[in-house]
Amino acid sequence: MHRFYAPEIGPAGSAAPLPPDEAQHLIRVLRLSIGETVRVFDGRGREHVATVEALTKSDAIVRLGDATVPAPESRVAITLAMALLKADKFDEVVRDATMLGVQRIHPIATTRTDVPAARTSRVDRWRRIAISSTKQCGRAVVPSIEEPSTVSEFLDRPVAERLLMLAEPGLDGAISTRALAAEPAPESVALLVGPEGGWADAERRLALECNATLVTLGPRTLRAEAAPLVALSVLLHIWDDKATA
């Protein structure tokens, strides 16, 4: 069944307009008709079966039916603080991290970030990608995409109970993800992942001053865009990815 993002949904029986992008997808791409059944979610955890009630060339309104149960959220609220990447690689990170269940994605400009200024202002694009990925994977929660900031700015605003910084293989003081498995699962985690050139020494020192734990994924060096996805998969496996509801 087709799913649509509708942030203004109310109780069962009420009408809900689809945002312009979603309406155009329903009308022009999927070519759905009045009376067809769809699902709509509000991006904050609610989802309903709905019926297409009214269509124009640019607008779509659905009538809400019964509430449904979306894909469960992870038991650990994860914030991914990811260094900005070249080309469209950050798009891929947003798409896949959303599917893996992160609650917040925070783009980070680091000392070794080599990204044109124009690519640091793509937050609206990344938010659209997150919505699309949420639709595809069955979640009803759209992760928030924050405005880019520096490492120090991010660390100045604690967002999680536990702070992890992904480190290069062989770095002194870094623990393996296996060591995390012996600890109780935290309620929330912020995972910092560096750029293609790795973290600068000053950035690591700053994170350690903020009680970060350096974590390594093993002896092999991964591509920058692959590292967060491997790390998220391992962490979710360690913490069993149990539903919160």
pTM of the model: 0.90
Higher-confidence position of 171 and 138: 138
Helix (H, G, I), strand (E, B) or coil at 177: helix
What residue spans define the domains of the chain?
Answer: 3-67, 77-238
User: Which alpha helices (DSSP H) does the chain contain, by range?
Assistant: 20-24, 89-100, 123-137, 151-155, 177-180, 201-209, 227-238
The answer on pLDDT for 244 being more than 60 is: no
Across 36-63, average pLDDT: 97
Q: What's the CATH fold of domain 3-67?
A: Ribosomal Protein L25; Chain P (2.40.240)
- Give the span between the Cα atoms of 242 and 38, in whole angstroms: 28
Residue 33: other Cβ atoms inside 10 A: 10
Distance CA 189, CA 169 (A): 21
Res 116 pLDDT > 90:
no
Q: Are 16 and 8 in contact (CB under 8 A)?
A: yes
Q: Is residue 115 predicted with pLDDT exceeding 90?
A: no
- Enter the tokens of residue 241: 């990815």
pLDDT of residue 118 exceeding 60:
no
Residues 67 and 70: their CA atoms lie apart, in Å, by 9
Are 146 and 122 contacting, i.e. CB atoms less than 8 angstroms apart?
A: no
Please name the residues in contact with 208: beta carbons below 8 A apart, sequence gap of 6 or more: 214
**What mean pLDDT value characterizes the chain?**
91
**Alpha-carbon torsion (167, 146, 225, 198), positive or negative:** negative
By CB atoms closer than 10 A (0-12, 13-18, 19+), residue 240 is: exposed
**With contact defined as beta carbons under 8 Å apart, do 215 and 176 qualify?**
yes
Instruction: Give the pair of three-digit tokens for residue 186.
Output: 């935290």
Which pLDDT score, from 0 to 100, does residue 81 have? Answer: 97
**Range in 33-42, 112-121, 159-168 the model is least confident about:** 112-121
Q: Is domain 77-238 classified as CATH 3.40.190.10?
A: no
3-state helix, strand, coil in the chain (%, to 5): 30, 25, 45
Q: How confident is the model at residue 154 (pLDDT cuts 50, 70, 90)?
A: very high
